[in-house]
Amino acid sequence: MDSRTPQIIPNVTFERERGVHAIQVTHDVAHAVMAIDSEAYPTHAAGVQFLLRALNDAQIPLFLIKLHRTAITAGLAGVYLPKLEEAMAREGIRVKTRRDLSLIIVKAALMRETSGVMVQISDALVAAKANLFQTGDSHNSVQCLIEADRTDAALNELCKTFHLEASAVIESPLTEERAR
């Protein structure tokens, strides 16, 4: 072969990866619904601010935070649940919690350009009979908080839906250090 003849290099691509390429799962996650008593504060914003300040003072890291008309909901590492319940009781804030959850994060390099991915995720979770407690999304992921006892079934359905091998599932513990 002449040295000037171009060689074909197999399995090299310059195309950016599209579509779902990984699923991350975190166990021992909790969910909290913290009530905002509208009669106790001059404005709704004051109630939200009071609640968020109490969480900050207790140094409780949260994720999947949602502001509602009468409550704030959020996910947190299970290890922080007693600390959250104690802080809310100290401030007189009603809270409902649940600890037996897992956080599943479906990852794609260009999630916002991936058509129909939310419906596919939803259909997979329904097929796995996994109740969904909270969701979130970003430019490269969709986060789903589900019942821990349905995690394996949900992962199987998601892998099947997105044609992923089991090796695409990444176990990611949510330790106290990582939660900070």
Residue 7 lies in a domain: no
The bridge status of strand 20-35 relative to strand 169-171 is parallel
Tokens of 123: 């259909």
pLDDT in tens, 69-121: 899 999 999 999 999 999 999 999 999 999 999 999 999 887 777 778 889 99
Residue 173: which residues within 8 A CB-CB, separation 6 or more?
Answer: 26, 27, 28
Domain that holds residue 135: 20-28+100-173
Residue 178 backbone dihedrals phi, psi, to 5 degrees: -70, -30
63 close to 136: Cβ distance less than 8 angstroms: yes
Q: Number of structural domains, the chain?
A: 2
Q: Report the C-alpha gap between 128 and 74 in whole angstroms.
A: 23
pLDDT in tens, 150-180: 999 999 999 999 999 999 999 987 655 554 4
Q: Report the C-alpha gap between 13 and 138 in whole angstroms.
A: 26
Q: Report the C-alpha gap between 144 and 135 in whole angstroms.
A: 5
Residue at which a domain ends, from 79, 99, 119: 99
Instruction: Read off the pLDDT band of 38 (50, 70, 90).
Output: confident
- Residue 92 sits in the same domain as residue 106: no
Residue 6 lies in a domain: no
CATH of the domain at 162: 3.30.70.260
3-state secondary structure of 162: coil
- Residue 63 sits in the same domain as residue 108: no
- Residue 67 sits in the same domain as residue 107: no
Q: Which residue matches tokens 């404005």?
A: 43
Residue at which a domain ends, from 99, 128, 156: 99
Residue 116: which residues within 8 A CB-CB, separation 6 or more?
Answer: none
- Residue 52 sits in the same domain as residue 109: no
Residue at which a domain ends, from 38, 67, 99: 99
